[in-house]
Amino acid sequence: MSCLYIYGINCGSICCIPLNIYFFTMSLKNSSVLVIDDDLDVLTAVRLLLKTEAKEVMTEKNPENLRSILSKQSFDVILLDMNFTSSINTGNEGLFWLNKIKEFKSEAAVIMITAYGDIDLAVRSLKEGASDFVVKPWHNEKLITIIKEALKRKGKAASSPSLKVDSMVGTEMLGESEVMQDIFFKIEKIAPTDANILILGENGTGKDLIAKAIHQQSLRTDKTFVKVDVGALTESLFESELFGHKKGAFTDAREDRVGRFEAANGGTLFLDEIGNISLHQQAKLLSVLQNRQVIRLGTNDPVPINIRLICATNMPLNELANEARFRKDLIYRINTVEIMVPPLRKRGNDIILLAKHFSRLYSNKYLKPVMEFDSRAMEKLLHYHYPGNIRELQYTIERAVIMSDGNVLQANDLIFSPIESTPVVKEEPDELKLSAVEKNTILRVIEKHNGNITKAARELGLTRTALYRRLSKYDI
């Protein structure tokens, strides 16, 4: 039987839950717990608390005895203090022993114990394999809940050995709905390949988490993951940011710079909001993807690149396929496999699953008992339409946890953000509509003739000079 580990950590606000697909649950009553802390009072308190809750509770003051203990017995839960007797308590002792436990090949879940809030150490410990953390002094009920949740996640992971569940720590990809099960299955299939992926979905649905999950389960997991919001790059910055430049290539180029493609070499490049780049930028991007090499601005020297490309957009695929807006040859290049991330309103009871996760996360962050939801609150959560998707739900729960004085969140505690209210759409003047039609027509004809201005002008019934004036007018 495996064991759960609880470690002390100098942290206070991060609670991360791994991607789980199956629903097997381990019972605390049938589990063994190991507690490692150099504070005898802590050891006594935990032993007395868990004596009637767990099958077995073992305590140990000296972490140096871990190897000997784990070689003789396996545990389901281990509680380990982050700081041991040392001239300087930095939290590194706990991280050191966390990694040692991994070296000992223990399958136990690990929870870190801390007396001081330090987000960086919390994130680091979770990324390095800890299951959760608890801040001391803790509420007994909260500690028991954290242990049970860690066992539950561990049980789910054990029932899905084909998934690299440990690599998903740090994401909030929770979901039991059928649509999410399909996504998890797709990730499992495509992650080990080098296929280019296009992730589609509304803002706030977690497209970046999908991209990170694919990278973490890929063969490039130990390499770099580089994210670029290409939709936010101006025409002047696009090439420099993605492809790099040499010193003196333009006015502000005061030193050589490696572009994002080179920075991601050997790993994964995630281009977010790909649907918002211009046709000119698309042509540059297509050339790099076809030739698998970049040329920094200011040089003529091609640099080979080896990347796994993942792109994302909130634009529907049928709009993306409009050649006036996006090159079809580029769509085929970036879209070997597509993943459609559903909006939260279509995920059913996943809403409650996520709400409970966020409640636990922010209860830990703000040092409050874990808050539950009454029936009316859950009904309100299920019937809201979530225009801001998971991001809106997260902020709603955080606000509710902060403002609530009790241990149960009620319907009136849940105040959805007015930011996401549907805006009043003003009718555009006819002049603007005609300008849009003219601009789109020019773009389509230029695309048709592969950028040949003479042929495009002839088809549009314009002189070259007149066409250039319109190109300047519409900033094409």
Q: Is residue 283 part of a domain?
A: yes
The fraction of the chain above a pLDDT of 90, given in percent, is 37
In whole angstroms, what is the distance from residue 265 CA to residue 263 CA? Answer: 6
Burial (CB < 10 A; 0-12, 13-18, 19+), residue 429, is exposed
235 token code pair: 């025409």
Are residues 129 and 47 both part of a single domain? Answer: yes
Which residue in the block uniquely carries the two structure tokens 């006015």?
A: 251
**Can you tell me the mean pLDDT for 8-16?**
33
Of 300, 318, 340, the residue that ends a domain is 340
- In the prediction, which pLDDT does 346 show? 93
- In the prediction, which pLDDT does 268 show? 95
Q: Kindly indicate the confidence band of residue 311, based on its pLDDT and cuts at 50, 70 and 90.
A: very high
- In the prediction, which pLDDT does 241 show? 87
- In the prediction, which pLDDT does 120 show? 59
In whole angstroms, what is the distance from residue 224 CA to residue 215 CA? Answer: 9
- In the prediction, which pLDDT does 308 show? 95
CA contacts within 13 A on the Cβ side of 224: 13
Query: 328-364: b or e for each residue (b if 16 or more CB lie within 10 Å)?
Result: eebbebbbeeebebbbbeebbebbebbbbbbbbbbbb
Asked if residues 314 and 391 have their Cβ atoms less than 8 Å apart, the reply is: no
In whole angstroms, what is the distance from residue 277 CA to residue 383 CA? Answer: 36
Q: Is residue 225 part of a domain?
A: yes
User: Is the pLDDT assigned to residue 302 strictly greater than 50?
Assistant: yes
Of 340, 371, 401, the residue that ends a domain is 340
In whole angstroms, what is the distance from residue 463 CA to residue 442 CA? Answer: 13
Q: Which residues contact 123 (CB under 8 A, 6 or more apart)?
A: 11, 14, 16, 170
Are residues 324 and 362 both part of a single domain? Answer: no
Q: Length of the chain in residues, anyone?
A: 476
* Residue with more model confidence, 73 or 434: 73
Are residues 331 and 454 both part of a single domain? Answer: no
314 token code pair: 């909130």
Q: Which residues contact 326 (CB under 8 A, 6 or more apart)?
A: 275, 279, 282, 320
* Residue with more model confidence, 462 or 399: 399
User: Is the pLDDT assigned to residue 267 strictly greater than 90?
Assistant: yes
Using alpha carbons, select from 270, 364, 349 the residue that is nearest to residue 16. Answer: 364
Are residues 184 and 299 both part of a single domain? Answer: yes
Q: Kindly indicate the confidence band of residue 58, based on its pLDDT and cuts at 50, 70 and 90.
A: very high
CATH number at residue 287: 3.40.50.300
Q: Is residue 416 part of a domain?
A: yes
User: Is the pLDDT assigned to residue 446 strictly greater than 70?
Assistant: yes
Indicate the number of domains in the chain: 4
Amino acid at 207: K
Q: Is residue 280 part of a domain?
A: yes
Are residues 238 and 348 both part of a single domain? Answer: no
**Can you tell me the mean pLDDT for 237-262?**
82
User: Is the pLDDT assigned to residue 113 strictly greater than 50?
Assistant: yes
pTM: 0.55
**Can you tell me the mean pLDDT for 251-279?**
88
Least confident of 12-26, 175-189, 293-307, 380-394: 12-26
Using alpha carbons, select from 241, 28, 291 the residue that is nearest to residue 145. Answer: 28
- Expressed as residue numbers, the domain containing 441 is 430-473
Asked if residues 60 and 94 have their Cβ atoms less than 8 Å apart, the reply is: no
- Average pLDDT value over all residues in the chain: 81
User: Is the pLDDT assigned to residue 60 strictly greater than 80?
Assistant: yes
Q: Is residue 246 part of a domain?
A: yes
Q: Is the peptide bond before 137 cis (omega within 30 degrees of 0)?
A: yes
CATH number at residue 363: 1.10.8.60
Secondary structure (H, E, C), the chain: CCCEEEEECCCCCCCCCCCCCCCCCCCHHHCEEEEECCCHHHHHHHHHHHCCCCCEEEEECCHHHHHHHHHHCCCCEEEEECCCCCCCCCCHHHHHHHHHHHHCCCCCEEEEEECCCCHHHHHHHHHCCCCEEEECCCCHHHHHHHHHHHHHHHHHHHCCCCCCHHHHCCCCCCCCCHHHHHHHHHHHHHCCCCCCEEEECCCCCCHHHHHHHHHHCCCCCCCCEEEEEHHHCCHHHHHHHHHEECCCCCCCCCCCEECHHHHCCCCEEEEECHHHCCHHHHHHHHHHHHHCEEECECCCCEEECCCEEEEEECCCHHHHCCCCCCCHHHHHHHCCEEEECCCHHHCCCHHHHHHHHHHHHHHHHCCCCCCEECHHHHHHHHHCCCCCHHHHHHHHHHHHHHHCCCCEECHHHCCCCHHHCCCCCCCCCHHHHHHHHHHHHHHHHHHHCCCCHHHHHHHHCCCHHHHHHHHHHCCC
CATH number at residue 464: 1.10.10.60
**Can you tell me the mean pLDDT for 167-188?**
74
In whole angstroms, what is the distance from residue 1 CA to residue 85 CA? Answer: 31
Asked if residues 338 and 199 have their Cβ atoms less than 8 Å apart, the reply is: yes
CA angle 330, 333, 334 (to 5 degrees): 90
Burial (CB < 10 A; 0-12, 13-18, 19+), residue 178, is exposed
Number of other CB atoms surrounding residue 50 within 10 Å: 22
Are residues 309 and 182 both part of a single domain? Answer: yes
Q: Is residue 173 part of a domain?
A: no
CATH number at residue 137: 3.40.50.2300
User: Is the pLDDT assigned to residue 260 strictly greater than 60?
Assistant: yes
* Residue with more model confidence, 118 or 182: 182
Are residues 8 and 143 both part of a single domain? Answer: yes
Of 291, 311, 340, the residue that ends a domain is 340
Are residues 336 and 360 both part of a single domain? Answer: no
User: Is the pLDDT assigned to residue 72 strictly greater than 80?
Assistant: yes
Are residues 289 and 360 both part of a single domain? Answer: no
Are residues 20 and 70 both part of a single domain? Answer: yes
328 token code pair: 């079809």
User: Is the pLDDT assigned to residue 212 strictly greater than 90?
Assistant: yes
Q: Is residue 17 part of a domain?
A: yes
Asked if residues 82 and 7 have their Cβ atoms less than 8 Å apart, the reply is: yes
Amino acid at 86: S
Are residues 90 and 218 both part of a single domain? Answer: no
Q: Is residue 25 part of a domain?
A: yes
Are residues 16 and 164 both part of a single domain? Answer: yes
